[in-house]
Structure 1
Amino acid sequence: MLALSPPLFSTFGWPLEDPISHDQQNNNYNNNNNIIYRETEATSDQSFFLSQAIDGLGGFKCNSNEVMGDETMAKKLNHNASERDRRKRINSLYSSLRSLLPAADQMKKLSIPATVSRVLKYIPELQREVEGLIHKKEELTSRINSRQEDLVTLESRRKCMTRSSISAISLSPMGEREVVIQICTLKAKKNPLSDVMLNLEEDGLLLLNASCFETFGERVFYNLHFQVQGAQKIEFEVLREKLLSFYEKREEAFI
């Protein structure tokens, strides 16, 4: 049998294992495990926070999309409302334009182009009608002016006839206290002689004698003899103007 050869290297004085080194290795291993666990735990926490942040960003993105969608919808609604108002205004304007047409055309259901075409044809018709009315107005104005001139002429003639109806009023003084008044006028149904005598008596003249006679052309002559009462004197020109004015007013009232 072969004898066991001694080991190549002697183990004398060399322990097989170092207990301290083994414990140190165990401690290092445990420390490494703790570090790895802690790093893993930190990584898990970071992943959790990152996932929460990503979820938050996702919600923000969704909210942004919702806001953008709401703004788009609001713009669309505003555009539709503006368009609806614009169409209402246009329809109202066309209705007002259609109301200016004759009644026969208003009864028809005309389209917008037909309404515009009819209005364009109706405008010259109105212009011709206006020109005719202006011409008619000028004719009527001319006639009215002519009639007014005729009325003025007739009025002046009437006044002349009124004045000519009193042919003459003469006063013949007989001293300072008596006067004879001679009146030549047209015969009338309502003779103002009584009013004349009454007014003269109110002025302080007393009738002493009166006579009258009628001539051709239905004219009447009056001779009136008056005497002034009291110490006053007769102003002949004032008395004559008063009699003329009285007769003119009476004649104008009866014409």
Structure 2
Amino acid sequence: MEEWSHLDSLWSVDEVIPESEVGPAQIDSRAGEASASASASATQQEAVARNKFKTRSARKNSSNVIEIAEEEGVKKLDHNAKERIRRMKLNASYLALQALLPDSRRSKKKWSAPAIVDRVVAYIPELENEIESLRGKKENVQLQRAKENHPSTNPTISLNQVDQQEAVFQFCLERQEQEESQLTHLLEGLESEGVSIKSTSALDVSDTRICFHLHIQTNDTASEAANYFEELQDKLISWLR
């Protein structure tokens, strides 16, 4: 009995009351407590869900910011690398341009890019003048060689007056296809002048040249014949061209 009485003393106000002894007021009170508890729980769960959403959003935003920063960093590094390569190529071009200048090897100090450009601008007219001078020398050398390799085809006629009215003309021609036509033209010219050919002869002086002798007589007086032979010499040259 003592045991049971001890247990009864420990029984709290929260002891279970039989439903038959519970009144309407107690039921409404307990319903309100349950509703408030449920509402508080729902609010707490909603707050927890909101906090989780905010945390996920913050993490996502932070991840996006990091990705954007990394992408911008990569672009900046790529731009810097390209700019470095461009400057290296530009410097190499300036060095190559400097090497073309005649006084670049004598200079011990490093030239700046503007100094190289200024020197090149000043050197271009000098180079043009030198090219023009060398072109003139080349043409002169080529002309001289052409004269040496191909002597003038203009015939040289020598005049030897053997008498007051007679003279011997000597000239040499290159062996060529028009050789016969030249002689024909010369004989026609002499015939038109009314002079008489006393004799003709030809002599091969080489494989490429042949010399002719013309013994001519005129009916002019001695004084007139001397002048006439000189005039005829010029006419012979023109007929043989």
Give TM-score scaled by structure 1 length: 0.47
User: Larger radius of gyration, structure 1 or 2?
Assistant: 1
Give TM-score scaled by structure 2 length: 0.49
Pick 1 or 2: higher relative contact order, CA cutoff 8 A, min separation 6.
2
